[in-house]
Amino acid sequence: MIRSLIKLSLVASFVLLVVAVWRSTILPPPSGLNAVLLEEPEQRPVQQAAFEVSTQGVTYTVQPLYAYDLVGLVVSKHDAHTWWDYIHREANDHINVVDLCVVWGNNVRSGAYTEFAFSSGQFTCNFSTNFSEAYAAFDQAAVSNNHLLSADPRLAKLMLSVREGDQIHFRGYLAEYSHNHGFAYKRGTSTVRTDSGNGACETVYVESFQILKAGGQPWRMLVWVAGLWLLLSLIAWFSQPARFND
């Protein structure tokens, strides 16, 4: 009887874990978004001298071009320090903490993003849909791949904690940056939202970052609950005395 109950607990916790993981990745509907996400990013020219920052033994020169302020919904994410990202590693590019693909404005207003699949590569945000109506409604000037820069460990940790479905707000500078750590390296930024292809990503030196609302609730919490439940069920299963057939 006890083994049957434990077996049922194992199955139920595993099913809940799978469902919770799946549901936690679904983007929220437009009705669940803050009205401020309807606004366009704010950009204004600045006259600011280049400055230096250092992280992981490399000194970078950052040249601000425009002050930049964006509020949006994260639809895809790339951790620039993940083990398979060899390009940033080979380039000694440790200041690029994370890439966040974000939608706002018309895409929030229409809800077209809910019919798209999004994914991120080492320098790209990719999106596609099987629905022609959604593609026609999707505003490609209201989506951007943002390379977020910071040498501040606190900011870096916060930005890395972001997940798809989160609503975020950050301020900083569209900027160029470079280093001469063993070789000359320089990276620029897009300064308009209407471009595409190589060079169309926004490179932002972040000064403030906020998660306005986390997505995937209550499913993200249920992932932890189901995971703990499954672990306890496994412990209970293997703690049962062995049974031998006569």
Q: Beta-carbon neighbour count of residue 62 at 10 Å?
A: 19
Same domain, 112 and 183: yes
Q: Which candidate, 144, 146, 126, 127, places its Cα nearest to that of 135?
A: 127
Same domain, 81 and 192: yes
Same domain, 143 and 77: yes
What Å distances lie between residue 197 and 144, 150, 163, 228, CA to CA?
11, 24, 24, 44
Same domain, 236 and 153: no
**180-192: per-residue pLDDT in tens?**
999 999 999 999 9
Range of the domain at 221: 1-26+216-246
Same domain, 166 and 232: no
Same domain, 147 and 182: yes
Give the total number of structural domains in the chain. 2
Across the chain, what does the average pLDDT equal? 95
Same domain, 153 and 67: yes
Average pLDDT, stretch 4-9? 91
**93-123: per-residue pLDDT in tens?**
999 999 999 999 999 999 999 999 999 999 9
Same domain, 39 and 73: yes
**211-223: per-residue pLDDT in tens?**
999 999 999 999 9
**150-181: per-residue pLDDT in tens?**
999 999 999 999 999 999 999 999 999 999 99
pTM, 2 dp: 0.91
Same domain, 20 and 96: no
| 246 class by beta-carbon count within 10 Å (0-12 exposed, 13-18 middle, 19+ buried) | exposed
Average pLDDT, stretch 77-84? 94
Cis peptide before 218 (omega within 30 of 0): yes
